[in-house]
Amino acid sequence: MEIGCLWTGRLWLGANSMLSIKPSNSMAMISMSLQRQRNHTFCFPPLKTSQLPSVSSFIYPHRRWVSNTSASYSPAPLLSIDDSNCSDFEEVELQKQGSPSDFKVLLKGMTYVELEEWVKSKGFRPGQAMMLWKRLYGNQVWTSCVHELEGLNKDFKKMLSETAELKVLSLKTILTASDGTRKILFTLEDGLVIETVVIPCDRGRNTVCISSQVGCAMNCQFCYTGRMGLRRNLTTAEIVEQAVYARSLLASEVGSITNVVFMGMGEPLHNVDNVIKAAEILVHDQGLHFSPRKVTISTSGLVPQLKRFLRESSCALAVSLNATTDEVRNWIMPINRKYKLGLLLKTLREELCSKHNYKVLFEYVMLAGVNDSLEDAKRLIDLVQGIPCKINLISFNPHCGSQFRPTSDEKMIEFRNILAEAGCVVLLRPSRGDDQMAACGQLGKPGPVQAPLFRVPEKFQMAVNASPR
């Protein structure tokens, strides 16, 4: 059912009531011509993530930047999420078609190995690549424009100013919550806005929470970002620069940023290529040098991508669990209709066998009357049996239009105690920054057309009806 316009596409509700976007005619024409160039068949609908050409090709027809892990578009219905990643190749094609001077390479989209190769391909020594890398990420420098690059060869700087872009985000504003949490809003080159949160902590453990997508396709029913639907993936450079910006803007105010969590806008593993690459850049020991254990990628449970992440990355993993039965999880986290709880936990059990000294973090947002009963606590103990893990119990942060209520503090403590008595490592995570909509599940700005809310299962009607809407 078509219910209105969203962005430059049109929003449709499919038979399964998942969010999908049908591209407008102009987008279709551009993408069809791109497809014809490659002699591929192209048709709408149905759309599959893997079949779509890059949105950046048609959103930014005059785009200057070239990234080998670029923004990509995956507006397919949730149940069409396939196991492939969302990377694309269109911009590389565009680079070949245009004049080289029309395009600039995104330096923060490259791993060190790629940067070194690129520098060599321009006729410079690899040593110049390391000097550049250190000025981008190391030694508290965080250069954001070529003129600030000190100590580099003059010809090398000239080449950089002609062919490379150091900065991909523009600061829009910083909001400070009463508890000191900062929400940073960045404008992207296409005008879309993303949010990054810096959470200071007394014990010197400052965390930056970064976004991996604009909006999110997963439509978790308790999450404000999910109401937006997916607008696009962030590039590697856009992801990395959030951490660089947070360090350079706020280090003097809140102290050094020690932890990075991919828990901002978006499902990180739905943008798995760019996220794995960004994580690699964040932990490079000559650059930002975050400890891999202090860089945490969170997922709602995309099983194939989760397997890939565990095999390819040394960074930490958080799984947003939030329910102890398929019935509840199917409702509040529709990804569970594709990858059931049993499969998700079995996969973790199997994959973690080969990881040494590695614990997954389970996140459990507590929703009054929905997932916070004593039976839930007992089921949760059984579910995580055999998985090296910690459990974070998170207080639900209400937002405009939310149908849920937070579990009371007393009940959260009771729930925590049951888990702890059974031997689980369990923490209560207090809400941070909610007076500036900077808390978990509160990021983003849904437009007038939003992802659908699902039918509430009969036995939870009371819990939901009791909530403010």
Tell me the β-bridge partners of 164: 105
Question: How many CB atoms are closer than 10 A to CB 100?
Answer: 11
Phi and psi based region of residue 428 (left: phi greater than 0; alpha: psi -120 to 50; beta: remaining) = beta
CB of 305 to ligand SF4, least distance (A): 12
Pairwise CA distance, residues 109 & 115, whole Å: 9
**What mask, x for binding ligand SF4 by CB under 6 A, covers residues 340 to 379?**
----------------------------------------
CB of 218 to ligand SF4, least distance (A): 4
237/318 with CB nearer ligand SF4: 318
129/223 with CB nearer ligand SF4: 223
Which of 197, 223, 283, 366 is the binder for ligand SF4 (CB under 6 A)? 223
Rg from Cα positions in the chain: 22
Residue 275 engages ligand SF4 in binding (rule: CB under 6 A): no
Residue 198 identity = V
90/363 with CB nearer ligand SF4: 363
21/106 with CB nearer ligand SF4: 21
Residue 300 engages ligand SF4 in binding (rule: CB under 6 A): yes
Query: Which phi and psi (to 5°) does residue 21 adopt?
Result: -130, 125
Q: What residues contact 181, with CB distance under 8 A and at least 6 apart? A: 197, 198, 199, 200, 432, 433, 436, 438, 439
CB of 439 to ligand SF4, least distance (A): 12
Question: How many CB atoms are closer than 10 A to CB 4?
Answer: 10
Residue 195 engages ligand SF4 in binding (rule: CB under 6 A): no
Q: What does the DSSP 8-state code read for residue 379?
A: H
Residue 323 engages ligand SF4 in binding (rule: CB under 6 A): no
Q: What does the DSSP 8-state code read for residue 56?
A: H
Instruction: Please give the span between the terminal C-alpha atoms of the chain, in angstroms, as a whole number.
Output: 24
Pairing state of beta strands 257-262 and 295-299? parallel
Tell me the β-bridge partners of 197: 183, 209
Contact 263, 440 (CB under 8 A): yes
CB of 66 to ligand SF4, least distance (A): 28
Active-site choice (220, 223, 315, 440): 440
Question: How many CB atoms are closer than 10 A to CB 57?
Answer: 24
Side-chain half-sphere CA neighbours of 266 within 13 A: 30
195: annotated active-site residue: yes
Residue 398 engages ligand SF4 in binding (rule: CB under 6 A): no
CB of 230 to ligand SF4, least distance (A): 9
Residue 225 engages ligand SF4 in binding (rule: CB under 6 A): yes
219/242 with CB nearer ligand SF4: 219
Which of 90, 189, 267, 273 is the binder for ligand SF4 (CB under 6 A)? 267
Residue 301 engages ligand SF4 in binding (rule: CB under 6 A): no
Residue 218 engages ligand SF4 in binding (rule: CB under 6 A): yes
**Tokens, residue 371:** 């997932």
Active-site choice (114, 116, 165, 195): 195
Residue 226 engages ligand SF4 in binding (rule: CB under 6 A): yes
Residues that bind ligand SF4 (CB under 6 A): 216, 218-220, 223, 225-226, 266-267, 300, 441
The residues carrying an active-site annotation are: 195, 440
